Amino acid sequence: SRTLFILEAAPALHKFTLSRERHACAIPSEDSAEKTNVEWEPSKDLKHLNLKLLRMYGFEDEDKVTNYIRLVMERAVRLKRIELRGEVPCEKCDAIYPRRSQVDKGRRRRIKERLTHESSSAVGMIMLVAAMPAQ
């Protein structure tokens, strides 16, 4: 997971925000990186001691998101809060699809239920938040 790479490289990190843009007008900019297959394995005993907040925007696949969050929860031992947010409106055209947003809300709720029901983590709060830009 690239997130584990970032957590290992940035041990002082307190907040981490991930987002996935799926809007049709989102075209890659010249500043965006080309996808490559970087081979890297995190330390088997990696424990991040400072991450307190994990914020995620616009993810759909419940199994992948649940597994991803569990992986971060295992490694970020002082994680206190997880925010599962809907899609952020497009900055270029301000579009957001209401039907997709409702589906997204249901998925986020199911992910939260799975994480709280099947986990013994010390994460104090898993929140479902309406779509708003990160601050």
pLDDT in tens, 110-131: 887 887 776 666 676 777 666 5
pLDDT at 48: 95
pLDDT at 119 (0 to 100): 64
pLDDT tens string 9-64 = 999 999 999 887 665 665 566 656 666 777 778 788 999 999 999 998 877 677 88
What does each C-alpha distance from 132 to 22, 78, 87 come to in angstroms? 15, 25, 8
Token pair listed for 117: 């029901």
| Position 8 pLDDT exceeds 80 | yes
